[in-house]
Chain A
Amino acid sequence: MSGLERQQIADRVAQEFQDGWIVNLGVGMPTMCSNTPIDADILYHAENGVIGYGPVLPAGQEDVHLVNAGGQNVSFIPGAAIVHHADSFGIIRSGRIDVTVLGIYEVACNGDFANWKVAGANGGGIGGAMDLAACAKQVFVILEHTTRDGSPRLLKQCALPVTARGVVTLVATNLGLFKPLGDRFLLREIAPGVTVEQVRAATGAPVEVPPDLKTIRTL
């Protein structure tokens, strides 16, 4: 029941990107979305003020002055620009980011999600996630469907402190692609080799299954 690999989850999310979108990728699995070959002209924005970055450069070819949000040495695409941090978050808060893709701990079917503080932690790691979550036109989240001990991460209500409320429009996990619908998740597509029963058993909220359920086509 493991379903999709990490890169395959990112691949499926990247196929949602539309031509002309400005996309902000969070650190971790979301950064893998930029590895996916897609037929759309995307401008990648990083919170540290890089507008228009390309692939990570191999050792020896890197520019040590240029990193993405994860600190990886990326390249520029032609037409790239640099702004300072306040302008970079001005881009975010003014609603110019079409989608942000974030790695998270939990998501609820009401669109709330949590990704900055684990249970019992003293302090947290917010980074740019709260600004992005509150202000991007759409918020896509990527996560493993369950915790290491098998507990669901797709829930009716978040148990952890939330990052933002009611903002998530797409949830991608190793088991499928979901849309939060308020009181339930819609299973848009299911991972190959996974059954609807398995998805329901691993999910902590009702799951609506459309009659014409599609299987995720891996690249």
Chain B
Amino acid sequence: MAKRSKVYASFAEAVADIQDGASIAFGGFAYPGVPFNLIAALLKQGAKGLTCVTNGTGGSAPDRMPDIGMLVQNNQVAKVVASFTAPTRASDRIPLTQYVAEGKVVAELVPQGTLAERLRAAGCGIPAFYTPTAVGTELAEGRETRVFGGREYLLEEALPVDIAFIRAWKADTAGNLLFRRSQRNFNPLMAMAAKLTIVEVEEDFLEPGAIDPDEVHTASIFVHRMVKIPAAPEGLWPGRRPERAAPPGNQAKEKQS
């Protein structure tokens, strides 16, 4: 029997068998590389008790693309692992806050470089590593540290996931991927950290061989299912993210995920 094609006809079909309790890594940083179409399909599919690994959960801006905060609000999420678990401006509100306060969702806050490296380690068969990041902070309290060369480092464990949702620019039907500009971000790491990688692809699928092997960013080994993003409005194509006004007065700090 021929092997099933990695190309799926719809996002609904590509996410249909996701089970309750699955751990899912969601790629993207700001807008580039976020799998908006797969998130939208998962909102409809309805799997519950999910662990979501993501840089941030979103939801502070009024015009929202599908985000992890929506999965939280849809009562599909048990745990979030992210480098932002609270709004970055005191005046902002994100949906996650209330769910954590009510004990409905557990939030694990991880520095962004540690998050990336925990995913990378998982995808590379490394169970744990030491990092200088977060030493001496509240995040390191009660945890194992070790001194190498006179400097203290914190032990961090790999972060394997069941599934990765990512967005790529080009793909061939074998599953080799190319990302464009800062769309790359966490996406190659999450593809390697997952047992099942599902990709939304911007351009029409290419025949195997059309991408020079030297140019491939993520090799086909790490890719299992792909869906071509349809034209808008059926498919989700983010534009420029709305600029946010500088905060008034002496708010010195503003951060966005």
Q: A50-B182, A117-B86, A164-B136 are in contact. Are A70 and B256 (CB under 8 A)?
A: yes
Quote the shortest CB–CB distance from B60 to chain A (angstroms): 10
Residues of A close to B29: CB separation below 8 A = 48, 67, 85
Residues of the A chain whose Cβ atoms lie less than 8 Å from the Cβ of B101: 122
Given A27-B256, A64-B238, A131-B114: A84 touches B180 (CB 8 Å cut-off): no
In the assembly, what is the distance between CA of A27 and CA of B251, in Å?
13
Size band of the B side of the interface?
Answer: 35 or more
Q: Is A89 an interface residue (CB 8 A)?
A: yes
Q: A48-B182, A65-B183, A127-B255 are in contact. Are A122 and B97 (CB under 8 A)?
A: yes
Stretch at the interface among B44-52, B126-134, B224-232: B126-134
A71 with B252, Cβ < 8 A, contacts A122-B86, A165-B136 known? no
- Chain A nearest CB from B32 CB (Å) reads 5
Whether the pair B250, A147 counts as a contact (CB closer than 8 A) is yes
Partner of A123, one of B86, B132, B243, B254: B86
A165 to B100 alpha-carbon distance, docked (Å): 28
Measured between C-beta atoms, what is the minimum distance from B53 to chain A in Å? 12
Beta-carbon contact of B239 and A134 below 8 Å: no
Task: For chain B, residues 64 to 88, give those with C-beta under 8 angstroms from any C-beta of chain A.
Answer: 83-88
Q: Would B255 and A103 count as touching, CB distance under 8 A?
A: yes
* Known A49-B182, A126-B83; contact A144-B252, beta-carbon cutoff 8 A: yes
Contact (A121, B86) CB under 8 Å given A131-B112, A131-B113: yes
Q: Which residues of B contact A (CB under 8 A)?
A: 29-32, 55-56, 83-88, 90, 96-97, 100-101, 107, 109-114, 116-117, 119-120, 131-139, 169, 180-189, 217, 238-241, 243, 246, 249-257
User: Which positions in A face B, CB cutoff 8 Å?
Assistant: 6, 26-29, 46-50, 59, 62-67, 70-73, 82-86, 88-89, 92-93, 103-105, 115, 117-118, 121-131, 134-135, 142-144, 146-148, 153, 161-165, 174
Query: 9 interchain pairs (CB within 8 A)?
Result: A29-B252, A48-B32, A71-B241, A71-B257, A84-B184, A118-B86, A123-B107, A123-B109, A144-B250
